[in-house]
Structure 1
Amino acid sequence: MILIIDDDIAVRTSLHLLLENEGYETIEADTPESAINRVQQHDLSLIILDLNFSIETSGKEGMELLQRIKKIAPSIPVILITGWGTIDLAVRGMKLGASDFINKPWENSHLLQSVETLLDLKEKKKEQHSRKQLDNLYNFQHIIGEDPKMLALLEAIGRVADTDASVLIMGESGTGKELIAEAIHQNSKRRNKPFVKVNLGGISTSLFESEMFGHVRGSFTDARFDRIGRFEMANKGTIFLDEIGDLDASSQVKLLRVLQDRTYEVLGSSRTKTVDVRVVCATNRNLEEMVARGTFREDLLYRINLITVKLPALRERPKDIPHLVDFFLKNMKEIYNRPALSVTKDAAKWLQQLPLPGNIRQLKNLVERTVLVSRGDELDVDDFRTQYDQMPMKKETMQLPGVGLLTLEEVEVEMIKRAMAYHKNKIAKAAVALGLTRSALYRRLEKYNLPYDETSD
């Protein structure tokens, strides 16, 4: 049962008819006190709460009522609606426990999508399955891992995949965030619709609107043809926004609007378009720290992280390393036509002891390099050790400066210089070693005025 709380009978009636037509049972309340009575007397699944009950438009009454409701029934999801919405109001509501914030007049499809998502999430029960059981329930064939941390993560994404909840995937570089995003899409109701990947770290500020929302011919210099944006490409499907922590402040504002209202304008056109997408984001940065520093918008963080999953680093699940090595070898047997490839037990144990700061990406690189260089088909400890010692970044040899001796910017500059020198100014290789995209490395080289050869790649 859904409780609709609004002092305007026209709004209550409109919401009642909309929800009833979708098969939902509703009850109504027009004052804070009657709303509290309904919460105490009925078994509710969800609440839609208006923030204003008088001429005042500050939302104060609604916020106070939200706090009272959360004390009585903390597990019931609440959608806030208001005709006087502000960014600050949305953030305050989310901090107090609201699950979503929708402005009046609302888009029916958007509101119904939010209702369905929150009800689905509420009904999903937490269970513990073995890896075999998970594989029978979901399509996780490309994700390797049997460590309890990975099983818990797969359990979590399996539960939320079939909803339209926004998901934020956090984890170090090389942990497989893109694979998790693809698994969420493949196990969702949108699996037969587009899955569009966007590396936000590789899009410059000047091209952000054109890349994301498209442009019409003549909208700017060199715009010779109409261009379809990434959001339009992903319509009805899933859009994966990778490296969202690299987004600059002005682009964050533009992204927030489309995530908030599901509307956008093509560059050079005044016509507003609507979009229906499931949003999955990923980052290797601590967004909460960035919010505290003022480099990432708090309202955008609340909009993208209805569900947050954190990928464990490879060093936190060493028992999965032999499984990953076997998976890589299986592929390399076919790629390099070496069907007899194998790894000794000693080598497998030795690989489990490595810190591997580059995670799965570094492990795959190490295995592939060893396969390519080794003459024999049975790979032993010495084969891997030789290649590992040649890697540019090994955690056990990393010496960090004392606190106060260098700023983060100075450390970043020094690491970029070392990576470029080691890889003889090869941008692509240096970028991989630093855990960056080529575009992100180019931006840093320009930012710090570091020399590079544009023809080196």
Structure 2
Amino acid sequence: MILIIDDDIAVRTSLMLLLEQKFYPVRSAVNAAEGIALLKNEAISLVILDLNFSIDTSGKEGMALLKEIRTMKPLLPVVLITGWASIDLAVQGMKLGANDFINKPWNNEHLLQSIKTLISLKDQEAKHQEHSHPANRKQLDSAYDFQSIVAADQQMLELLEIAGRVAETDASVLITGESGTGKELIAEAVHQNSLRRNRPFIKVNLGGISTSLFESEMFGHVRGAFTDARNDRIGRFEMANKGTIFLDEIGDLDASSQVKLLRVLQDRSYEVLGSSRTKMVDVRVICATNKNLAEMVEKGTFREDLLYRINLITLKLPPLRDRAKDIPLLLNFMMDNMRQLYHRPDLQVSPAAVKWLQKLPLPGNIRQLKNMVERSVLVSRTNLLEIADFSSQLEKQPVLQVSKLPDVGAMTLEETEILMIKRALEFHQNRISKAALALGITRSALYRRLEKFNIPYDERNPNDETSD
């Protein structure tokens, strides 16, 4: 049963009619006292809570009631709804434990999707509590499709179990972890185990999209929207409609692009560049980053309201050094691929080499292990790979060599920066990701400098490694 707490009879009536049409049982209350009484006496599965009662528009009454609800029922989903929307109020409500924040006037489909998602999550959690025991790999494989993920480590199995349960809902998911830990694989697995599995799965590397192209890439443009817009273009969100959009490296997004992304995530609406017509989108959002977004919020480089929009569920992938038990399994999987790819059916890794690899720190995680294995296979003349084969192929980060710094007064700071960027691009053969790493900045920051200084670059360089 859904409980609506709102002093506006028109709002209560509209919400009750909408929910009853979708066969949700509904009760309503006009103030905090009535709401608390119903919570004590009825089996309520979700609350839609107005933040403002009577003439007060500060949100204090709603916040006080939210605190009381959280004390009574800590796990009860709460959706805040208000006509006096503000970012600060939304963030304050989320900090107090609200699950979502909807502005008046609301979009019916968006509100219904939020309600359905939160109730589904609550039901999934209840089922999990009833059968609370550590899942093994066999049980997971019988319940979900995780065939693309190689893992037997217990912390990975627990993460996969959560991913499988969450997949059945439309909850937004934030996947965190170091580079190379397999965040994209987890995102694909969530989509593959969802009700949207037969719909599009659109991957977007936000670190590889320059600020000036963000709107065109994400929302599309019409012909003539800007100088080079010779044809209409469909944006990534429209491509992902009814499916899933995977926003990789969301921590690299600049401030202005964060604002534009927030609107579509909050209202599920956007405008095509060059058109004034608003489009609605039905999409499941999965984000990933190797950055600490909470620290970025404290520093003011990532919006707090955007963080609350994307992390209804957070999956933190452990680094490979913390799941050494999985390295033999990963090696077997990789060697199977190498045998077929290079037509060497007798390829093997010695037991001593396996143990040696398990002790390596591997800061590049699975990606580094894969590169090391493949290079070793290509270089080795024998089919049995030993420790020496791998140790000789340990990945070394290229260091940008600068023979001599310019004398003071010979170049301006801007000219020096331009020179370093050009040298980095030349050294790394126009690979944006490698050049940015050598310069100690993000790809997004490098793209902004390329535009600022009008430095030519190959935006679609096929050799650029950007996946996580």
Q: Is the 8 A contact 1:425 1:452 kept in 2?
A: no
Corresponding position of 2:170: 164
Q: Is the 8 A contact 1:167 1:304 kept in 2?
A: yes
Shift of 1:252: 0.4
Corresponding position of 2:397: 392
Distance, in Å, in 2 between the alignment partners of 1:240 and 1:382 is: 39
Q: Is the 8 A contact 1:166 1:280 kept in 2?
A: yes
CA gap 1:328/1:336 in 2 versus in 1, 3 angstroms: same
Q: Is the 8 A contact 2:180 2:366 kept in 1?
A: yes
Corresponding position of 2:148: 142
Indicate whether 1:200 and 2:206 are aligned. yes
Q: Is the 8 A contact 1:427 1:441 kept in 2?
A: no
Corresponding position of 1:304: 310
Q: Is the 8 A contact 1:392 1:433 kept in 2?
A: no
**Correspondent of 1:274 among 262, 274, 280:** 280
Other structure's SS at 2:245 match = strand
Distance, in Å, in 2 between the alignment partners of 1:225 and 1:271 is: 18
Distance, in Å, in 2 between the alignment partners of 1:218 and 1:430 is: 31
Distance, in Å, in 2 between the alignment partners of 1:187 and 1:225 is: 36
Indicate whether 1:256 and 2:259 are aligned. no
- Gaps (5+ residues) in structure 2? 400-416, 464-468
Shift of 1:298: 0.3
Indicate whether 1:431 and 2:434 are aligned. yes
Shift of 1:433: 10
CA gap 1:429/1:233 in 2 versus in 1, 3 angstroms: closer
Shift of 1:420: 5.2
Q: Is the 8 A contact 2:253 2:444 kept in 1?
A: no
Distance, in Å, in 2 between the alignment partners of 1:216 and 1:433 is: 32
Corresponding position of 2:40: 40
Other structure's SS at 1:43 match = coil
Within 5 Å, which residues of 2 pair with 1:438-449? Answer: 440=444, 442-443=446-447, 446=450
- Structure 2: which amino acid aligns with 1:320? D
Distance, in Å, in 1 between the alignment partners of 2:446 and 2:188 is: 27
Indicate whether 1:8 and 2:39 are aligned. no
Within 5 Å, which residues of 2 pair with 1:79-158? Answer: 79-124=79-124, 125-126=127-128, 127=132, 128-158=134-164
Deviations 1:357-395, CA, capped at 9 Å, x for gaps? 00000000000000000011111111111111x53389x
Distance, in Å, in 2 between the alignment partners of 1:6 and 1:438 is: 46
Distance, in Å, in 2 between the alignment partners of 1:38 and 1:84 is: 26
Q: Is the 8 A contact 1:420 1:430 kept in 2?
A: no
Corresponding position of 1:402: none
Task: Count residues in correspondence.
Answer: 433
Other structure's SS at 1:387 match = coil
Distance, in Å, in 2 between the alignment partners of 1:112 and 1:335 is: 48
Deviations 1:165-186, CA, capped at 9 Å, x for gaps? 0000000000000000000000
Corresponding position of 2:364: 358
Q: Is the 8 A contact 1:5 1:48 kept in 2?
A: yes
Deviations 1:84-135, CA, capped at 9 Å, x for gaps? 1111111111011100000111111111111110011111133431111101
Indicate whether 1:64 and 2:64 are aligned. yes
Shift of 1:344: 0.8
- Gaps (5+ residues) in structure 1? 395-412
CA gap 1:325/1:420 in 2 versus in 1, 3 angstroms: farther
Deviations 1:273-293, CA, capped at 9 Å, x for gaps? 000000000000000000000
- Structure 1: which amino acid aligns with 2:47? I
- Structure 1: which amino acid aligns with 2:204? V
CA RMSD of aligned residues (A): 2.6
Q: Is the 8 A contact 1:53 1:62 kept in 2?
A: yes
Corresponding position of 1:379: 385
Shift of 1:426: 2.9
TM-score of the aligned structures, taking structure 2 as reference length: 0.87
Within 5 Å, which residues of 2 pair with 1:152-231? Answer: 152-231=158-237
Distance, in Å, in 1 between the alignment partners of 2:347 and 2:219 is: 47
Distance, in Å, in 2 between the alignment partners of 1:268 and 1:123 is: 43
CA gap 1:42/1:362 in 2 versus in 1, 3 angstroms: same
Other structure's SS at 1:267 match = coil
Indicate whether 1:247 and 2:253 are aligned. yes
Shift of 1:254: 0.4
- Structure 2: which amino acid aligns with 1:18? L
Corresponding position of 2:293: 287
CA gap 1:252/1:430 in 2 versus in 1, 3 angstroms: closer
